[in-house]
Amino acid sequence: MTEGITTPGQGWRRAGGSDVAGDGVRAYGDGAGRRRKGGRRGGRRGRGGEVPMVEEAEFTSYYGRPIIKPPVWKSPDVPLYLFLGGAAGSSAILGALADVTGRPALTRVSRLTAGGGSILSVVFLIHDLGRPERFLHMLRVIKPTSPLSIGSYILAPFSAAAGATAAVELLGWFPRLKRFGGAVSALFGGPLATYTGVLLANTAVPSWHAAHRELPFVFGGSAMAAGGGITMAFTPVAEAGPARKMAVTGAAIELAVVHRVENGHGVVSEPFHTGRAGTMLRAAKACTAAGAGLTVLAGRSRLGAVVSGTLLAAGSLLTRFGVFEAGMASAKDPKYTVVPQRERMAARAAQNGHASTVSR
Amino acid sequence: MTSVSSASPAFTGKDPENRLFGPLPDVQGEAGYREDHPARVGFFTDTSVCIGCKACEVACKEWNTLPMDDSYGTRDTLGLSGMSYDNTGQLGANTWRHVAFIEQVRTVDLPMPTVGPPPDAAASRRDGIVDAPDEAEPGDSVVTAQTSVLNAEALSEFDPQTSQSGDREIRWLMASDVCKHCTHAGCLDVCPTGALFRTEFGTVVVQGDICNGCGYCVPSCPYGVINQRKGDGRVFKCTMCYDRLTDGLQPACATACPTQSIQFGNLDELQARADARLETLKRQGVESARLYGRDEDDGVGGNGAFFLLLDEPEVYGLPPDPIVTTRDLPAMWRSAAAAAAMMVGVALSAVLGSRRR
């Protein structure tokens, strides 16, 4: 029999799709999220109208073009901002606590790390703007729905306090003001390191959004590994005990939560394993694990502290780059937008007890 | 316009008023406008009558003085996409209306019927048609088809967009895409400067003198509409011709559309019109017709600009089930707060657990 042109899914497929860069109809397959969707491939009806035994799991797109726009954020600006903000944030907390427990050398190194990191991160953040001269527009309104707005109100007081504290630390003026500035920056240090997870997750970028509960913990752990690593490398080993402990705990948290991000979200976990992101994250894990192990084994020697601190910082930096690149890759491939949404619709339809192919 | 706080709705815990997600009957009121604000306006783009003339694209470019760009949004470049008649490619900073062209092919079983569908199918279809002109005999299906242009049989037999070649049929789908002006707009939610705002008409507009080009709105749009303009640094998107609306004019694209594929009006009227149009098409056997962005219970609380499509949304480059990212933001903030507390806890135990010198 013949159907009118308007019957849904009756063998229509894009003409010439296979020879166009980025085929519009592509099979996808991964163990966790296999979806069946028949009727798009031609030739099916040609085989005497019989439905093939195994339907290919596939998705459709408009000439292989991405559905969402990939972020316009620049690399290395934004990954560096994430890294520096995290290292500065965790160092500020460490510095304030070292101050009140009487560890002057660790306090000094932590304050300088926090101050330097925060100022540099502000520079990178402003440099990434399309209109850098308008950066103060960030403080024009305050919006809880915008992580970047809240982040600006975290970064502004943090960088002011941490920068001023580091400056007076270098100059040796106003010891009491130094303690106050250190306390203020410690207050904002944690939120500065973890809000960036929300910053990335609160987008339509599939691989970031799916990991929205984990990313703040990834970045928090990574921040402690970096901050602990950097301060450990520059502090006399006798006083650097807290830095070593924080670094190792942070590294363990980072590794554990990154593992969940990389494996817990079906098809959108894929970009964390493939391409540049996969390479970076594998290197990140190697650096972080080696750095943490070396800290435990040789962190009490000068050389061991420097090497393991460097490894931990490099691991944290690579984690930021890897997560950033994975999100970019997931945004550029329509598969990661369409397939999870189709799976969501199928699950909803199953829940409602009726199959529905018509989108709502 | 009235002065409106550009801060977006505060968090209310369980969000009982659907400020982040869900249906929102009065978007302008929720954004802070007084009760005497104008009605919410929108576009209903009926792709079943789109002829792909791109008059909407040209009118939009001209009215809004948008720069030239190629099919990848590269500014001041002329280039063919090499994939179809679509050399516009995508929506972006310099393209606020985009006519998608999808050339589809399918194999059909031979022999093809010479005229009309099989008698039994024709009869069963006609039973559903309430306002069919005359009860035609099965043999007179040509007459039935010709009396109504949008009759399904007519579409299959006479539609110039479908043609047959041997055992293959070819059809064109054309659809003019545009900013959806969502009820819960991701771009508006995440804008840190307040450059994006909700107008008194319920649309979402960028204020060019405020935007600092942070680019956060770009990946936050579930439809990939808004983008940054290279060489300018700021973001741009459809304003639904805010300047024309304030002067009582219709948007340029709707004015230029020769087939009324793009219809502009009050949103509730457009929704009623779209529902009626869908019903008509369904009755005529156009089973694949569906409304996209019409449902207020969808992931973005419904669109201010919605569509009638003839195939799955992703065929047109639209996401099948978009959800505003901010729906999950409370969970994200909780997670960030917990992670920050965790950092303080770890640092505290590291300091207290280490021996003093």
> How would residue B239 be classed by pLDDT, with cut points 50, 70 and 90?
very high
The backbone torsions φ and ψ at residue A252, rounded to the nearest 5 degrees and listed phi first, read -65, -45
- Calculate how close chain A gets to B143, using CA atoms only, in Å: 17
Taking Cα atoms as reference points, which of A332, A104, A79, A30 lies closest to residue A226? Answer: A79
Asked whether the beta carbons of B289 and B310 are under 8 A apart, the reply is yes
What is the pLDDT averaged over residues A49-72? Answer: 74
ipTM above 0.85, yes or no: yes
Residues 6+ apart with CB under 8 A from A307: A294, A298
pLDDT tens by residue, A8-40: 456 778 876 543 334 445 544 333 333 334 334
Most distant pair of Cα atoms in chain B: their distance: 102
In this prediction the pTM is 0.86
Cα gap B230→B217, rounded to integer Å? 15
Contacts of B322 in chain A (CB under 8 A): 204, 341
Cβ within 8 Å of residue A333, ≥6 positions away: A66, A271
Segments in B159-310 forming alpha helices (H): 186-190, 217-220, 242-246, 252-256, 267-283
Q: Are the C-beta atoms of residues A242 and A224 closer than 8 Å to each other?
A: no
DSSP code of B316?
Answer: G
**Residue for token digits 């579409």?**
B155
Which residue would you say has higher pLDDT here, A16 or B63? B63
Taking CA–CA distances from A66, the nearest residue in chain B reads B317
Q: Quote the pLDDT of residue B9.
A: 45
Domains of chain A by residue range: 77-330
* Cβ distance of B326 and A202 shorter than 8 Å: yes
Residues 219-278 of A with CB under 8 A from B: 219-220, 223-224, 228, 238-239, 241-246, 249-250, 253
Interchain proximity B332–A193, CB inside 8 Å: no
The predicted model gives B281-308 an average pLDDT of 94
Residue B304 CA to residue A300 CA, distance in Å, equals: 63
Show which of residues 86-125 on chain A sit within 8 Å of chain B, judged by CB atoms. Answer: 89-90, 93-94, 97-98, 101-103
Q: Which residue has the higher pLDDT, B132 or B177?
A: B177
Residue B122 has pLDDT above 50, yes or no: no
The structure tokens 């970045």 sit at: A219
DSSP 8-state secondary structure symbol assigned to residue A58: E
**Phi and psi of B351, rounded to 5°?**
-70, -45
The Cα of B352 is separated from the nearest Cα of chain A by a number of Å equal to 8
With H, G, I as helix, E, B as strand and everything else as coil, classify residue B169.
strand
Give CA–CA dist A95/A158, Å, rounded.
13
With CA atoms as reference, report the closest residue to A243 among A92, A82, A118: A92
Using the Cβ of A75 and the Cβ atoms of chain B, whether some distance falls under 8 Å is answered with: no
Amino acid residing at A251 = A
Average of per-residue pLDDT across A119-132: 96
With residue B205 as reference, give the H or E element that holds it: strand B204-206
Q: How many CB pairs under 8 A join A and B?
A: 367
- In three-state secondary structure terms, A101 is coil
CATH of A77-330, one of 1.20.1630.10, 3.30.70.100, 3.40.50.150, 3.30.110.30: 1.20.1630.10
CA distances in angstroms from A228 to A293, B222, B244, listed in the order given: 14, 38, 58
Across the interface, whether the CB atoms of A145 and B9 are under 8 A apart is answered yes
Between CA B338 and CA A191 the distance in angstroms is 10
Question: Which one of A14, A90, A216 has the shortest CB-CB distance to B104?
Answer: A14
3-state secondary structure of B42: strand
Structure confidence at residue B15 (pLDDT):
74
Going from the C-alpha of A76 to that of each of A198, B188, B332, the distances in angstroms are 19, 26, 25
Q: Which residue of A has its CA nearest to B194?
A: A141
Query: Are B177 and B315 a contacting pair, CB within 8 Å?
Result: no
* Alpha-carbon span B256 to B247, nearest angstrom: 17
Annotated binding site of B: 50, 53, 56, 60, 179, 182, 187, 191, 211, 214, 217, 221, 238, 241, 253, 257
Q: Measured between CB atoms, does A9 come within 8 Å of chain B?
A: yes
Annotated binding site of B for [4Fe-4S] cluster: 50, 53, 56, 60, 179, 182, 187, 191, 211, 214, 217, 221, 238, 241, 253, 257
Of A171-175, A214-218, B10-14, B184-188, the least confident? B10-14
**Tokens (6 digits) for A92:** 């500020």
pLDDT 10s digits, A141-186: 999 999 999 999 999 999 999 999 999 999 988 888 899 999 999 9
Rounded Cα distance, B12 and B10, in Å: 6
**Which of A3-7, B232-236, B319-323 is predicted with the least confidence, judged by mean pLDDT?**
A3-7
Q: Which pair of tokens denotes residue A236? A: 């006399």
B44 bridge partner residues:
B263, B306
Taking the Cβ of residue A177 and every Cβ of chain B, the question of whether any pair is shorter than 8 Å is answered with no
Average pLDDT over every residue of A307-328: 98
Q: Tokens for A197, please give them.
A: 């997870």
- Amino acid B109: pLDDT: 64
Q: How far apart are CA A134 and CA A140, in angstroms?
A: 10
- Higher per-residue confidence, B211 vs B16: B211
Decide if A181 touches B, using CB distance below 8 A.
no
Cβ distance of B333 and A69 shorter than 8 Å? no
